[in-house]
Each structure stands twice: as C-alpha cells, then as structure tokens.
Structure 1
Amino acid sequence: MTASTAPSEPVPVLKWRWIAVAAVAVAAVTGVLLWSFLAWSGRPDAPVRIDAVKTAFGVGAGAGGVFALWLATRRQRTLELQLAETTRVAAVTERDLEERRVTELYTKAVEQLGSDKAPVRLGGLYALERLGQDNPKQRQMIVNVLCAYLRMPFMGPKTGLRGRTGAELGEDTDPELLVRLAAQELLKTHLSHDDPGHWPGMSVDLQRAVLVDFRLSGCTLAAADFSRARFVGAVHIRGSRFTRRTGFYGAEFTDIANFDRSVFDEGAFFSWAHFARSVRFTRIRSGGKFQFSHTVFAEGADFEGGEHEDLDLTDAQFPA
C-alpha cells in the first residue's frame, strides 16, 4: 500500500546572466534617454542640462524599480512553490507511513489467525475489527478475511449450542468453534444497521461455510452468497435487507430458520436447498425472482404476508 505522488509544478530557476542583461538594459535605456534629452534641449544652460540629467536618471530609476519589483514578486512566487512542494512531500510521507502501519497491523492480525492457539486467533479477529473501525477503506477487505476464515474446512457440532448450559456443553468444547462464533458475531455487529459500529455497503461470501447458530437479523448487506453453506442450529435472519440478489443455492439448514420481514431487493434463490425443520418466510418482500425450485421443506414453510414479484416453487417438496 503506497501513496502515489503526482507531479508538482517545477520551481523556476532564474539565471544570473538574465539579471545582468536586465541591468545592462536599464543602464542603456538611461544612457540613451540622457543623450536624447541633452540633444533635444539644444541649450548649453546648466539648469536645463541638470533637468535633463534628472529626468533621464528618474526614468532609469523607475525602470530599475519595476525590475526590482518583478524580482521580488518572482522570489515570493518561488518561496510559495517551495513551501507547497514541502507540504506535498510531507503529506505523501505521512500517507505512506500510515499505510505502512495499516499494512503491518493487517499482516500481523492475519498471521495470528493462522496460529494453532485459539486465544491467539481470537486476538487476530479483534485486531482486524479495530483496524476496520479506524480505517473505513479497509472494511470490505476485513469482512472478506472474516468470511474466508469461516469458509475454511470445519466439521462443526452436530447440533446448535443455544439453550444448552455450560454443563451440557462440557469443558471439551472445540476452541475452534468458539473462534468461529466470535467471527460470526463480529459480522453480525458491524452489518447491523442499528449498531453504532455499522459498516455500510458490505458484501459477504460464505459459500460452503459451516455456520453455527447463525444470526444476521437487522442487518443491511449488498451482495451475499451462502450457496452450499451448512447452517447448524437455529438461523435468524429477521428484518434484514439485501440490496443485491442473494444466493442460498444448495444450502443445508439443520434446524429452524426465520427470515421474517427481510427484504430482498433483487430477489434470492434457494434452489436445491434443504430445510430439515420448519422455516418462516413471513412478511418477506422480494423485488426480483424468489426461487425455490427443487427445495426440500421437511416440516413445511410459512410464506404468509409476503410480497413477491415472482415466487417460484417449481418441484419444491413439502411434507404430505
């Protein structure tokens, strides 16, 4: 990450020979005027000659004053250009230092995510979050890293964790699961439009990810792709808005799913998805095709109150 340096206006250089030429020119003009005035007067009177000399030297002094004023103006312009160049270089240097610092922090946080120790990986997650809070331009990249981490191979538990006590979970809970739950919570926090730390305009790619007790309620996203993801435990995506077409192609839902009051501006496709438990699509608004072709609803689906431009349930399977 390096800042580009735009070419600046070159500082003009005044050669001494031009100053000498200007001085000679002023002296020559003064001499010519003096000779002309003396020749024009045509009188040998001392007062007349003195007036002619005064007039000639006055004109020469005026010309010299104009030249001196031009030199002073040019010197001031040169100082201004030098100051502007110094300020520009300082700003570029400061940007370079800041971007270098951001790069170092990002690199260190990503390295922490590759640690074999869960606490170190957690530290990397929160370091990335802080980096995103302080640097809005890096937020999408950080969301991409969080999603990439969640897409990494993971067996996951057989059931969700919500509603289970600490004794039921036991002390041998997979530390990697805790890290992934933290990553999911960070996404939920910064995608929520009601959260003070909201990151607007983010896109997520969670294809083939294993997501446990996944929550994304009250969030606003741009592009989102959950194709072939496996949702373990209850899923709550209530009152969220997806501004671009959203993908759940071939996704597997092992527990209840709730999409109540969510908005899909450009539609969504759940083709070939599998819902093992009941799912609610109540009061959904879809501005594009809402596609469920070949989707399996093992315990049924509730579409009550939905507003759909094009609801496609071709070959969808419902319980008898």
Structure 2
Amino acid sequence: MTTAMITHSDCLSHVTPTGHPEQVARLERVLAALQGRALEQVEAPLGRIEDLRLCHPQAHIDHIRAAEPDEGTVQIDPDTWMSPGSVDAALRGVGGALAAVDMVLAGKAANAFVATRPPGHHAETEKTMGFCLFGTVAIAARHAMERHGLSRVAVVDFDVHHGNGTQDLLWSEARSLFISSHQYPLWPGTGPVSDTGAHGNVINLPLDPGTNGEAFRAAYEETVFPALDAFAPELLLISAGFDAHHDDPLAGLRLTEDDFAWVTGRLCDLADTHCSGRVVSCLEGGYDLDALASSAAAHVDVLIARGA
C-alpha cells in the first residue's frame, strides 16, 4: 500500500498579518519539500457541521463562522486571526483528517499525512486558541470511535506546545489515550503531569527548556511507548508539530530532523504491533520555515518507508 498525503489549496487562503508565525508560507514550504515523493495525493474534502459537532457545540461553530471577515484580517483572540477563507481552510483540515482515517481503516492507504493549516490542537470545546479554530485531531479520534466503532484510539502530540485543546476535547473520553510531550513551562501554561483525564486517559510529559534529542528519546522510551503498548490502540493519530526543533523561534527545545524521524519510526513500530500499522498524522506547529520543511519531510519519509 501507499502513504496518502491529504491537502487542499483552500488552506493557502487562510491569511494572517505580515510577521505572524502561522503564515501561508508554512504550508507552501511543507508541500514543496514533499514534491516528488511516493505519495498518493488526495484532495481534502470540507468537514461538515455534523463532523465539528463530534467535539464542539453549535454555538462555537456559529461563533467561528460569524467571525470570518468579508475582507482583510480580524483578530479573534490574542494569537488567532481570520481572513476570508479561514473557515474553509479549517474545514479542509477537519475533512482531510476524517478522510485519512477512513482511508487507513478501509485499507486504502497504509498510513496518511494531513498537510493542512490552520493547526487544531489548541482549540478547546468552546474556545479558539493558539492559531487554532477547531480540534482537528480530537474530531478525527471521535470519528473513528463513533462512526467506525473503534474502542481504543491513541493520540500522540509531540508539538513543543501542550495540546491543551485535544486534552480538553478528549478529557472524558474513556476510549481514547492522549499523550502530549511539550516544553514546560511554556505557553499555554498547561500540561502538568498531574493532569490525567477523567479515566486516567491523559498522559502529559513536560520537558525542560533546552531538552535535547537524547533526553527526548529517553523520556519517550520510559513513558510514552510503554503506555501505548499497554493501551494497544486500534488506530494511532499523531499531532505532528515540528516546533521542538532547535531552530524554532517560539520555543527552546533542541530536537533535530533525526529526532523527528526516530520518534515517527518508533510510533510506527507500536502501530505495527497493535493496529496493522494504521497511523494518521496531522500537521500542527513549526515556525522556522527551513526547519519545518526538513522536519516534515523526515517525518513523512518514515511513513512512506513503513507503508511500502
């Protein structure tokens, strides 16, 4: 089988002010870095209202739709901006993640990478945050559980910032296991070890500023992989943020492309053991354009090799 790459040009229509780190060029550079690779390219469908309602109340959905401007850009929280086209961009992310889950569970792809923006892992149940409008990966997890009947879905988030939105959306979901590694302390200030979910289904792995690849790998070997092994997921979702790279301007971890390739390979090992290699990865953060492009390519190269 092949690795699917799911994306859409609508995600380039979500425009932020000049100098904002979550910029159109992020996705442009990722897509350019992946050109020529052995990927099955799929156009992301629009997510539907009923998809969003797997995690968000109608009032939140209505608020986001009403906030989209007819022209220019508008700030909707301290970090998040919208422009004409932002809603469709976010809906492509949701639709793309759900399509990826469908493809992988149907055996139409070995695994998948969803290359869309804006990111999603900071969006809480009724709150936009950190460049995020809707909780893309959490919605994909609920889709797998509610519509495909899965009883164990794991989400691993290695973005440098805590996935507070995914944690919020899956806090009471006993069929899920959410694991986040993140620099701590760092914005958004959440993600202590003591946050464990309503059913012991949340694991937070705070990392000290300056943590390098060796310490990152040791932490994953000690905490993340044993927890995943015990949970035995039927599907593994990845929130793939690359802002833990040592060149990223928004944080202070010291990872390299080799570290992202390593963690991807080890997660694929666990997926091979428990769920026939079924992995869906969704792009989250990463704000140094060169580091983002090379790290995403290293991540996807592993998916391609493992899915062949």
TM normalised by structure 2 equals 0.29
TM normalised by structure 1 equals 0.28
**Which is higher, the Rg of structure 1 or of structure 2?**
1
Q: Give the structure with the larger helix fraction.
A: 1
